[in-house]
Amino acid sequence: MMSASNNTFENVKAVILSAHKSTTSREKVDFYNSWAENYDQDVAVLDYRAPGLAANSISSHFSGDREAAVVLDVACGTGLVAKQMKRHGFGQFVGIDGSKAMLELARESGLYLDLKHSMLGEEPIPFQWDSFDVVVIVGALSVGQVPVGVVRELCKSTKPGGYVCMTTRSNLDNLEYRGALERELKQMEEEGLWSCVAVTEVEDWERAVSEQEDGYISGAVYLYKKLQLN
């Protein structure tokens, strides 16, 4: 992969477009393993705002004890979401990711109580149900990443009364996925599993990397509250 000295927008764009050619889960993991070392610098070039936007959404609605709250960071990568949430007073993080190289960097951040390797959508989330005050997934709910059905596991992992925060992109390639995701979120609401707290539409989500789009793509942050058991 490229070195930080080649860290221009065009180079970062080429790296990300190469990821779209990965079709099997093994190829995707290999891509993220090789990208891990430059990941933080590269997404900074993209002006990738999703981790901060998700942390802001959680912070504006969470009224419990932030120091004591245990947060499950799903597809945690190098720990960008935990870094942002720590700024809002949260301090107890548990992470899972499919890339061992990303997990190693997350471990080095010193932010996590526990980190587990797990392939979302292929293996169940490796923690007890009903055990987290907040569950957050940033960047992985998109076409070619994890299946929409994973959101049911996120809900199951959350304590009754806890929050689930999810993000997705609104670029052309992801519109079909986003539609399916929103249908699933609504279906789960109709089933009485959770209630929608907020949906935040964001115009400048990150710089566009696809050939069909220029400037910035938009995205959305969804915040749901798991309903108390009857």
Domain ranges of the chain: 4-45, 50-226
Reference 222, options 144, 161, 135, 146; nearest CA is: 135
Query: For position 28, what pLDDT does the model report?
Result: 87
Instruction: Give the chain's largest Cα–Cα span.
Output: 56
Helix (H, G, I), strand (E, B) or coil at 140: coil
CA distances from 175 to 19, 100, 207 (A): 19, 30, 17
Tens of pLDDT, residues 104-161: 999 999 999 999 999 988 999 999 999 999 999 999 999 888 999 999 999 999 999 9
Q: Are strands 70-74 and 132-137 parallel, antiparallel or unpaired?
A: parallel
Mean pLDDT of successive 10-residue segments in the chain (230 residues)?
Answer: 62 81 82 92 93 98 96 97 98 97 97 96 92 97 92 97 97 94 98 98 91 88 88
User: 50-226 belongs to which homologous superfamily?
Assistant: Vaccinia Virus protein VP39 (3.40.50.150)
Residue 190 has a pLDDT of 97
Q: What pLDDT is attached to residue 2?
A: 44
pLDDT value of residue 3:
45
Position 4 scores a pLDDT of: 47
Amino acid letter, residue 198? A
Q: What is the CA radius of gyration of the chain?
A: 17
In this structure, are residues 165 and 54 in contact, taking their beta carbons and an 8 Å threshold?
yes
pTM for this one? Answer: 0.93
